[in-house]
């Protein structure tokens, strides 16, 4: 019997590539899209494969319920769930507006929790089913200017670890995938910067430099996101996947440093990063016409 997986956030990036990779590996793929009308690229990339697009905004109870009903009626159970849907948000925490923070958590935390919870009866129907939580290296260490995003991923890490223990009672494996920088739309089309970030704000001496440093680092180290889709399929098919699966640029190193380096040293490193950002911002202002 073919194995069945639901993947959320399949319009682009990790979700789109994982839908293709899983289908090529023989899985029946339910591909969730926040807006079903954006399925053109998904259908093009997965033509000839058993990929079934779903209208699935994970923050919508009606969308979640409809997805559960469809999978139950068509397949009777679920072998895998990939919680990939998520958002990013840049900006110093003081400048992030409350509605922006709530919206971020609504997707990255509450929507993911609700989607997983709704599908647990179907996951219990299949022995050794797997839930993959797409976290981030930002769920291990929080960088200045990405505090809101890191907070949501730290929450996801705690949720995933607790579910790892609880759902093992039913033979369900839970894995936290922690990618580093990969070349996806999260750094371009899907980039979100808090509207509270303004050139004249109190963080202006650092903002431009932080953004330039971030973009330069991503451009230098970002890798092909196909690595992530391949890893997700490997996790889904692994007999005993680990709780945490760091992947990509600096991912393992950041985890090791988080536990081995005293906090005063890591804080000193971050302060030097901010000082470099301040000098970069000042140089940009001096060059302005």
Report the C-alpha gap between 101 and 203 in whole angstroms. 18
Structural domain includes residue 131:
yes
Whole-number pLDDT of residue 250: 64
Structural domain includes residue 117:
yes
Structural domain includes residue 229:
yes
Task: Just list the catalytic residues.
Answer: 135, 149, 153
Q: Can you read off the two tokens belonging to residue 85?
A: 């849907």
DSSP 8-state symbol, 142: P
Structural domain includes residue 100:
yes
Give the chain's domain count. Answer: 1
User: What CATH number has the domain bearing residue 76?
Assistant: 3.40.50.720
Contact predicate 87/107, CB 8 Å: yes
pLDDT band for position 271 (50/70/90)? confident
Provide DSSP, 6-28.
Answer: EES--SSHHHHHHHHHHHHTT-E
Kindly provide the residue ranges of all beta strands, DSSP E only, lying in the chain, ordered along the sequence: 4-7, 28-33, 51-55, 80-83, 130-134, 173-179, 244-247
**pLDDT, tens digit, for every residue of 205-220?**
777 767 777 666 666 7
Whole-number pLDDT of residue 279: 74
Structural domain includes residue 288:
no
pLDDT band for position 186 (50/70/90)? low
Structural domain includes residue 276:
no
Whole-number pLDDT of residue 218: 66
257 pLDDT exceeds 80?
no
Structural domain includes residue 205:
no
- For residue 253, the enclosing domain spans 4-200+223-261
3-state secondary structure of 149: helix
**pLDDT, tens digit, for every residue of 36-60?**
999 999 999 999 999 999 999 999 9
Instruction: Record the pTM.
Output: 0.88
Structural domain includes residue 135:
yes
């Amino acid at each position: 019997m073919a194995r069945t997986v639901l993947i959320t956030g399949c319009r682009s990036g990790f979700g789109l590539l994982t839908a293709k990779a899983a289908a090529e590996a023989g899985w029946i793929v339910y591909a969730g899209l926040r807006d079903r009308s954006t399925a053109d690229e998904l259908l093009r990339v997965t033509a000839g494969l058993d990929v079934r697009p779903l209208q699935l905004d994970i923050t919508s109870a009606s969308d979640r319920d409809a997805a559960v009903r469809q999978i139950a009626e068509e397949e009777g159970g679920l072998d895998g769930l990939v919680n990939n849907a998520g958002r990013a948000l840049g900006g110093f925490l003081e400048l992030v507006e409350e509605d922006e923070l709530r919206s971020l958590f609504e997707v990255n935390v509450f929507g993911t929790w609700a989607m997983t919870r709704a599908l647990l009866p179907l996951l219990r129907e299949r022995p050794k089913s797997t839930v993959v939580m797409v976290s981030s290296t930002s769920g291990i260490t929080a960088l200045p200017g990405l505090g809101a995003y890191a907070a949501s991923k730290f929450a996801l890490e705690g949720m995933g670890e607790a579910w790892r223990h609880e759902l093992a009672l039913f033979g369900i494996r839970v894995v936290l995938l922690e990618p580093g920088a990969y070349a996806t739309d999260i750094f371009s089309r899907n980039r979100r910067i808090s509207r509270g970030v303004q050139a004249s704000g109190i963080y202006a001496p650092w903002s431009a430099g932080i953004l330039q440093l971030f973009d330069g680092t991503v451009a230098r180290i970002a890798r092909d996101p196909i690595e992530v889709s391949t890893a997700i399929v490997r996790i889904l098919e692994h007999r005993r996947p680990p709780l945490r699966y760091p992947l990509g640029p600096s991912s393992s190193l950041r985890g090791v440093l988080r536990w081995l380096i005293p906090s005063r040293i890591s804080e000193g490193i971050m302060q030097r990063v901010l000082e470099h950002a301040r000098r970069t911002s000042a140089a940009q202002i001096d060059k302005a016409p």
